[in-house]
Amino acid sequence: MRLLLVTVLGLTAACSSDEGTGKQPAAGGASSGGASSGGASSGGQAGQSGGSAGTGGGAAGSGGSGGTADGPTRYPANAVTSPVNEHVAKRLRAIASLDASRKPDVFMKVGDSHTVSKNLMYCFAGPSQPSYQLELAGNDALLPSIQHFRKGSAAGTTPFDRASLAAVVGKSASWATAGSPSPMSQELGALNPRFALVSYGTNDMQMGVTFASALWPFHENLSKLLDQLESSGVVPIVAGLLPRGDDATAALWAEVYDVVTRGIAEGRQLPYLSMYLGTKDLPKQGLAGDNLHGNVYVAGSSQPCVFTSAGLAFSYNVRNLTSMQQLDVVKRVVVDTEQAPDATVPGTSGTGTSADPFVVDALPFTHHANTDAAPDDAIEVYAGCGSTADESGPEQYYTLVVSEPTPIRAMLFDREGVDVDLHLLSGGTTGAACKARHDRLIERTLPAGAHTFVVDSFVASGKAQSGEYMLAITRCAPTDAACQ
């Protein structure tokens, strides 16, 4: 069994309420929707921030409990790297089967300045990069995979020290797939890789009026990027953004973006690396002098492949080690068809009905489901929130129990052709019990007690706009005013 890197965290969340009658622009903060009160449907009490290893969500379109031998794997909210068990391995092999011509010893890099930097992966290239030391410091099991990718031809270099056409300073996820051919398509054509290291988020945060308003375009743009890689038979490994030390509000939202990025990877059952969790407890959060980019261990010169305890006090050293560990695992399960190293983890409890809701057992929480498959279709209008919107399509229910007043941020994501809305109920499971609703975002402090979230399908021209969605709920930091 592979040991997951686990850290204790305290992610933020909040709560807002806004009227949502069909899709609206994402809000930076939501208007009020009535005071919350205790007593909705019962369920297990949510754990404190981070929860225990094994918390997370189901897989896209499942709507089921997840985490079974044949079902989707939940990604631990407090793990730096996601598990690769047999279900995940099958998913990765299925992606690879879409194009047998991909080079098994080549990966591409897709990202922003964090990816462009020669501190990322160049130090594994060997003789072509003689200025770098490689100190595995007890990680000698990685050497066969390092040698495997060193032999790969990436348009005249190794994949490690290839200057990617799909990685440019200052760019966001939308840039990688824009144009004809797009930067990502150009790099795919140049390398024909089997794998891709994908990392966005920092610049994407800046692409809206607020960090909140930028989150939904980021979800769509990263999803589109991953769609294209997967359909091309390329197995993505997704890395999240770093902590932010340059701005207090950005620091709060970096946690949220990490949760959402993990949720995207989880829904697709792709390997995930949380650079936020991997570096937030390092000295200076592993940040360079600009409080935005990662720092690196220096011994005469930059040495990002020194994996001693001294080296692993720096951001790029952590990233290189964990990235290589993930490449090693996916190479072994996809190329070598070895058995997956990780065990099955517990799934989400509940079936999503009003009588047996999905249980939000820890914060942060992510879950993927599909209202097409929802057995309940009881609530038509959420009168308690003063809404007349037609929500007579099928709905899914979630229960969250908190032992003390808890600031939360609940976020709902769907894609083109789907229009589902988010509702917070308290004191019952009818439309009259609605305390807040929005098509995307609810931020507020919940009183102690039980609360119900309902994801309901909006009806337009007599047709339910039901389909796949992702729900993410995080705990807000005490300093996050949006959740008060």
**Which sequence spans correspond to the domains of the chain?**
1-66+347-484, 86-335
- Domain spanning 86-335: CATH superfamily: SGNH hydrolase (3.40.50.1110)
CB-based contacts of 170: which residues, under 8 Å, 6+ apart? 112, 113, 203
pLDDT band at 51 (very low <50, low <70, confident <90, very high): very low
Cα 418 versus chain centre, distance: 20
Residue 11 has pLDDT above 50, yes or no: no
Of 52-66, 310-324, 349-363, least confident by mean pLDDT is 52-66
Cα 211 versus chain centre, distance: 16
Residue 6 has pLDDT above 70, yes or no: no
The span from the CA of 214 to the CA of 396, in Å, is 26
Mean of the per-residue pLDDT values for the chain? 89
Give mean pLDDT, residues 376-391: 98
pLDDT band at 70 (very low <50, low <70, confident <90, very high): low
Helix 211-231 and helix 183-191, axial crossing angle in degrees, nearest 10: 30
pLDDT band at 345 (very low <50, low <70, confident <90, very high): confident
**230 phi, psi to nearest 5 deg:** -60, -45
CB-based contacts of 96: which residues, under 8 Å, 6+ apart? 102, 194, 233, 235, 334
Q: What 3-state class would DSSP assign to 45?
A: strand
pLDDT tens per residue across span 109-129: 999 999 999 999 999 999 999
Residue 321 has pLDDT above 70, yes or no: yes
pTM of the predicted model, to two decimals? Answer: 0.88
The span from the CA of 75 to the CA of 73, in Å, is 6
- Look up residue 74 and give its amino acid: R
State both tokens at 352: 């999503």
Residue 227 has pLDDT above 70, yes or no: yes
Q: Are 437 and 22 in contact (CB under 8 A)?
A: no
Of 44-48, 99-103, 463-467, least confident by mean pLDDT is 44-48
Higher pLDDT, 15 or 356: 356
Instruction: Return the percentage of the chain with pLDDT > 70, whole number.
Output: 85
Name the residue among 87, 35, 144, 32 with its Cα closest to residue 347: 87
Residue 443 has pLDDT above 70, yes or no: yes
pLDDT, residue 2, reads 53
Of 21-35, 357-371, 437-451, 470-484, least confident by mean pLDDT is 21-35
pLDDT, residue 68, reads 52
The span from the CA of 146 to the CA of 52, in Å, is 32
Domain 1-66+347-484: give its CATH code. Answer: 2.60.120.380
State both tokens at 320: 């290189």
Name the residue among 243, 240, 221, 248 with its Cα closest to residue 482: 248
pLDDT tens per residue across span 130-172: 999 999 999 999 999 999 999 999 999 999 999 999 999 999 9
Q: Are 451 and 407 in contact (CB under 8 A)?
A: no
Residue 276 has pLDDT above 60, yes or no: yes
